[in-house]
Structure 1
């Protein structure tokens, strides 16, 4: 985890070390010291030695090297109390084990602890010194320089990049003069890359991998609905790898990054200023900071300088529970921050041991002096730095009291990390206990080597005195569990790190993130969850349309088209409704379509029904008049039987229009078209017979003509029957082959279902209409030919006019029927039936009724018979 830095200018030294390590072992090895010796800052002898690598300083003096002479040793600056606390935790664990009668009862542990100053190169030098030692051997030149391991295991480093470099050097490589594969246990290096056992087979850690933390942060961001966030990371292995996993998981969850920038504590001011400018120009209100505490420290100074408030910070475990970062936040920029931390821990006696620093005076005088002067802001008389110190600093006595001191050294907020150091030392001790076969005593004759201990330490599973379980998985990592921390302000202006939730990677995916029922504070101490989205969510009834060239979180909300719905939020598609359903006005639900057909209840259906009944009663009334005056000349003219049959067929024509009204059914569909076809053929056949009678009567008046005997009443009846039977046969064939049937028409109207009668066979339908048309045209032609016959009452004129109306109605019916939607097409067909029926009724019978009722003087045989009409007629 934590800070991983760039390789400093001491790269030359590291390169020298690596080249030395890569020499092949020959038959004879020269045994001599190369480079300056590395001396530990803290040392205690023991039967078995452990190594420790910590950053007692956080920086070093930059120098320009000309490489004409050997570079001078690294000069460390900026004493880091945190690194010293970690070292104290290791010392506490070692001394507790040495005082134990249950663990390694007859074996004492010692330690060599080195300071790396936060330098990768110096960390590698310290690791090689721990592995091989610094003593200048007196062995002759022909004696192999092969000695037992100087330490059994190495505790550290706290940062991922130094751990990677150290693990690469001391792990899989067999270095000259080193016959063992060493292993290291880190307490704070969280980079997921270190779980790769093909590259780092001898690396273990007591802190979870960032793979789980990065995913947990992504789930946390998604939980609060923040889909548009900014990201800042440490420019090292910790930050780059952690942010890469976060970005991948966030994309899977639909979270987008507006920007992703990297920062390192040694960056020039102009680069950090550029990051500040990016934050100011952004539209996202949430910043995910995957930073080491040292990089966050540098960034906080700039944030404070610019008073950059109003942003919701989401932090990694490196800084989210660091009280020193909170103390730097004088403008409350980070108030309401939320993030992950290692679960709280308590190790009895550790706090008192860490604060007891006086015994160090006898261990490392130089380091103790610097530490004491920095801790109490004073100077010893004999201090190397006393000449350059400011004159107003007081003199150190060595007896200062820590009781009134409040700084990062006395702050125990990092106790979970101290506990990780503690568990790492105990893990080595338990593995040794097993290898040495310790019971009441240990087998001191066995010389443990690091490789054997590494095999056993992978299998250990024990509990500390505080009840914490310690074990490693196949990747050398512990179980991934985090507390969710929220920065909440107190009455005194300080910050409380309140645990508001838990994350456990061992649970099912939907149960890993668990927020407790506690009040959360967000940016600017608001209890309302801030909104950070590129585009507002698309509500039900709309769909997302992405902006070209922008992240998927930036989109427009487009209303669903007619017939489509969307009942979820932020959907990219709308769903087509079932054909029997249609979208409602809000486009969020499908409602059943309205079923449309020509019914009796609506106005149009009622009017057509009334017209049909009116035509029926009118026809019946005309028939009644004719029946009452059946013996009058005007009724007996032109075959009264055909007149009554015509009136009967017209009655059927009016009534058949009623079959077109109402909900279509299987029987009504077959009845309406066949009844229409047959009744109209019967009607036209009667008119055709009456027309032929007129023509034949005229021809019969010519000398020598006996045509009337071939077209008497019997022949007229047979002709009507024959013409009608032909239509009946056509209808039978139509009904048996492919009859009309009820159909739900979804295509005609989008939001309605039209119940109509499908024709079945279009050929049958047009055959029925075509036959009616042929008879109507034939009748029209014959009536037209007889229109000027010299009769006092020539019925052919009225037949001609009636057939003209009939043909006109049905010719205009075709385009009107085709272009009318839904039930209106049925209404057009009914109107055509009624119009043509009324045309025939009025044109043929109303003139006769007029004479019968109003002009009875003309209803005489003499008036009916002209000079050219024979008496027989």
Structure 2
């Protein structure tokens, strides 16, 4: 009577479709919860517009039937294997959840009660208890199962053998629960329930999607998720993870789910807006998250639009998560799935177990006993009905039972085992291996499984939990099956390219893998050569970026008010480069390098100095030597004609000193050519300053001599006492010593030294002589300029003195040239860089020296060499008389 009362309480009120039961008795029982039905369907035929969805009957998702076959096939294999659970039969029950809370609760209660009866909180002595539950294809159904399983737990303390190391938790579930779909989303109010998840870790899936997006440089993407708790959790997670990796979102859309007929119109209107937003977006990549059946909902999108999309064949690259399977509702039999051709799917790693294809191939409604699902599946999948002997006539096509499963479209059924089915297959083997390990280590527990006391039975299940947490084995296909500390299977993810043909058949091409056991740099692998893209992309690799990539030589500048993936490309500033695409900032080249013209690479700078090997250097050297040779010739001419009046005039010794000094000036220019050395740097400016000061001092002495000589010729003049070598020598020596003192002080305080200038010239490293202190350098120039100005002034005043040998006017021209050269030297010196600075100084030395040589000595050489008749005393006296 007690049992009958409990049964009555468990029954659902009102008419409902009976639960499917696929039953096989055994020593150990495994329960299964599948989402085989629960969606609304219609009897209308789809033509050009999607049909209205009417609640005429519940419809199955045909593809889920393979999950049932995977469980049954695994149990069949185990029962036929002598190495696992010998002499023990593994049994199972499968119940349909109908994706309905009430019926899921009922199915779970029946699993925990007597076979095919709902007797909560009561276990008869002769009844077999449930060993494990495999189920929960989506997170919502898993949550319903979790709610019931969590209630039925027995708090007790059980000692663990010493080898296991400690005491287990007090709260232990009455059976083992393995989830092969989305894990249930728990909240703070939900008690903690231990379960084992057969799908890959979510973190691995997120990491794989990010790696895929970054590999193809898809930084501007859209996201679609189902409008439920699981979808909201996915969106919240990817928003943070993707943004940290430089990925932006063009849109985030939540696909509505309807529960009542009155919601369908609103759902279609909302879906039309979502479709138009997806298709009009610049983002060519859409990351889709959902549950097992979500793809069937996504198939509505091509038929929902607020605009005329007749000629629009645009598509996107769809990236689907592992929970999504290529499925269809039965009324979508003839719907075109071409929108998803070329999709890249992350799928649970799977293989095709040996013999599974033949096992599936021989499934037939006429020769399958105990399968409560196959007739409904057959009718829905093949769009036919089985004759009912109680009905007068049958509407629709008659099911013959000879239809071939391989002829069904890929969205209805696949002959190869899918990832979810492979997870179920692994889950059954995990249970079997755990039971085998328990039975071999504790033989006495076997007897307890057939009606022992409840306390001992709970000890049995505790042992099963303990073993399952640590189990590791190779399945029939050689894949390792084991769980981590969180109860998640240590499995990899396959990256699959969906190729959908016009007849809606599906071919899966494995193009990559996400392997958590591989080194970090090898965890993600992909072969882009075998990927088939949607025809809209013309087999070119799709691009998905808010802004075209900034090429090397440019950097990104984020647009104000836009996501960070939307930016402008600006040219790198001078001195900086970017050698990769989409760099946030340009980098500065080292001092030894300079940016290329395109500013994408750093080029080693060339070593630069004024050398004898280059045209400029050799030209200046030749000019200097040429003038030095001419000066030598002039000096020789004067020495040869030293007794002539024109040579004796204006202090012969000063003339010789000036010529020697000019010779040294020309040769001094050679110190500035060649690689700077310590000694040449010390001599350059000091020699230049002192030698030129001597030259200008000689010119000054000659000018003063001319003036004094003219004044001494006047009767009664006292200037005769000043005329002579003593005065001229004093002028030359005193003026030269002042410059020598300045140069000595310069060398003592901060002497010039060899230096490397890496900054003045962008493409050259300049080897130069650093002047040490610029102030002393300009002091030398200023003093030399002061002497030149004094000489010019005196010469200018004496230029009209009546003397045939008067040099004043020639000295005036020479000083004018000299001052002009050195006045133009200063701005030229400051405006040039590198070896050209040295060239400017050499040119100034040569030009000013040549000016002195030409203006002062060319007239005398003309008379000596070409007009010797004028070079005599009588001729000079007669000329003077004529002038007077």
Please state how far the C-alpha of 1:161 moved relative to its aligned partner.
2.1
Whether the 8 Å contact between 2:109 and 2:118 is mirrored in structure 1 is no
In the other structure, the counterpart of 1:315 is 320
Matches for 1:192-231 after TM superposition, within 5 Å: 200-231=192-223
**CA positional deviation for 1:867:** 11
CA distance in 2, matches of 1:643, 1:469: 106
Counterpart residue number, 1:161: 140
Pair 361,589 (structure 1): closer, same or farther in 2 beyond 3 Å: closer
Q: By how many angstroms is 1:281 displaced?
A: 0.3
Flag the 1:865–1:192 CA change in 2: closer, same or farther, 3 A: farther
With over 3 angstroms needed to count, the CA separation of the structure-2 counterparts of 1:847 and 1:735, relative to structure 1, is same
Give the aligned partner of residue 341 of structure 2. Answer: 335
Q: Is the 8 A contact 1:793 1:864 kept in 2?
A: no
SS at match of 2:200: coil
CA distance in 2, matches of 1:356, 1:54: 20
Select between 472-481 and 40-49 the one with higher mean Cα deviation: 40-49
Q: 1: distance between equivalents of 2:41 and 2:325?
A: 29
Deviation at 1:277, TM superposition (A): 0.6
Question: 1:724 is matched with which residue?
Answer: 736
Q: How much does 1:269 deviate?
A: 0.9
Counterpart of 1:587 in structure 2 is 599
Q: Counterpart in 1 of 2:38? A: 58
Structure 2 unpaired stretches of 5+: 13-17, 43-54, 157-169, 259-263
Secondary structure of 1:742's counterpart equals strand
1:351 aligns with 359
Per the alignment, residue 271 of structure 1 pairs with 270
Q: CA deviation at 1:523?
A: 1.1
Contact 1:98 1:108 in 2 (8 A): yes
Question: Are the structure 2 counterparts of residues 186 and 524 from structure 1 closer, same or farther at C-alpha, using a change threshold of 3 Å?
Answer: farther
For residue 11 of structure 2, what is the aligned residue in structure 1? 37
Identify if the C-alpha distance between structure 1 residues 298 and 698 changes in structure 2 by more than 3 Å, giving closer, same or farther: closer
Per the alignment, residue 67 of structure 1 pairs with none
Equivalent position of 1:420 in the other structure: 423
> When the two structures are superposed, what TM-score results if normalisation uses the length of structure 2?
0.77
Cα deviation, residue 708, structure 1: 4.4
For 2:622 and 2:418, the matched residues in 1 are separated by 96
Where does residue 401 of structure 1 map in the other structure?
401
What's the offset of the Cα at 1:690?
3.1
Q: Which residue of 1 aligns with 2:164?
A: none
The gaps in structure 1 that reach 5 residues or longer are: 1-30, 63-73, 139-143, 869-873
Q: Secondary structure at the match of 1:378?
A: coil
Once the two structures are TM-superposed, the CA of residue 609 in structure 1 deviates from its matched residue by 4.7
How far is the alpha carbon of 1:466 from its aligned partner?
5.8
Give the structure 1 partner of residue 472 of structure 2. Answer: 461
Task: Tell whether the 8 Å contact from 2:552 to 2:581 is kept in structure 1 after alignment.
Answer: yes
- CA gap of 1:334–1:666, structure 2 versus 1, over 3 A, is same
Map of 1:860 onto structure 2: 873
Q: Which residue of 1 aligns with 2:559?
A: 547
What displacement does 1:522 show? 2.1
Alpha-carbon distance change, 647 to 500 in structure 1, aligned in 2, over 3 angstroms: closer
- CA distance in structure 1 between the partners assigned to 2:371 and 2:816 by the alignment: 130
Mean Cα deviation higher: 191-200 or 581-590: 191-200
1:443 maps to 2:452: no
Contact 2:176/2:465 (8 A) holds in 1: no
The alpha-carbon deviation at position 607 of structure 1 amounts to 5.8
Q: Is the 8 A contact 1:156 1:184 kept in 2?
A: no
CA distance in 2, matches of 1:195, 1:201: 12
Question: Corresponding residue for 1:188?
Answer: 180
Residue 533 of structure 1 corresponds to 544
Structure 2 vs 1, CA of residues 91 and 697 (structure 1 numbering), >3 Å: closer, same or farther? closer
2:524 to 506, 513, 516: 513
Alpha-carbon distance in structure 1 between the residues aligned to 2:119 and 2:871: 158
5 Å-filtered alignment, 1:480-495, equals: 480-488=491-499, 494-495=505-506
What's the CA shift for 1:516? Answer: 6.2
Residues 392-791 of structure 1 aligned to structure 2 (within 5 Å) = 392-393=395-396, 401-403=401-403, 411-414=414-417, 416-435=419-438, 439=443, 442-444=446-448, 445=452, 447-449=456-458, 450-464=461-475, 469-488=480-499, 494-515=505-526, 519-524=530-535, 528-534=539-545, 535-598=547-610, 608-609=620-621, 611-697=623-709, 700=712, 708-709=720-721, 712-714=724-726, 716-783=728-795
Distance in 2 between residues matched to 1:726 and 1:48, nearest whole Å:
117
CA RMSD of the aligned region, Å?
A: 4.7
Change (3 A) 1:773 1:173: farther
Contact kept? 1:55, 1:84, Cα under 8 Å? no
- How has the CA–CA distance of structure 1 residues 684 and 328 changed in structure 2, closer, same or farther, with 3 Å as cutoff? same
Name the CA distance, whole Å, in 2 between partners of 1:626 and 1:352: 123
Greater shift, 217-226 or 856-865, is seen at: 856-865
- 1:562–1:333 Cα change, 3 Å: same
After superposition, the Cα gap between the structure-2 partners of 1:121 and 1:247, relative to the gap in structure 1 and judged at 3 Å, is farther
CA separation of 1:321 and 1:717: change in aligned 2, threshold 3 A: same
CA shift for structure 1 position 202 = 1.4
Partner of residue 262 from structure 1, selected from 254, 261, 264: 254
Q: Which residue of 2 aligns with 1:281?
A: 280
Structure 2 CA distance for aligned equivalents of residues 285 and 651 of structure 1 = 80
Aligned to 1:153, what secondary structure does the other structure show?
strand
Q: Distance in 1 between matches of 2:810 and 2:380?
A: 129
Q: Distance in 1 between matches of 2:397 and 2:858?
A: 136
Q: State how far apart, in whole Å, the 1-side matches of 2:804 and 2:361 are.
A: 142
2: CA distance between counterparts of 1:723 and 1:83? Answer: 111
Report if aligned partners of 2:624, 2:667 keep a CA contact under 8 Å in 1: yes
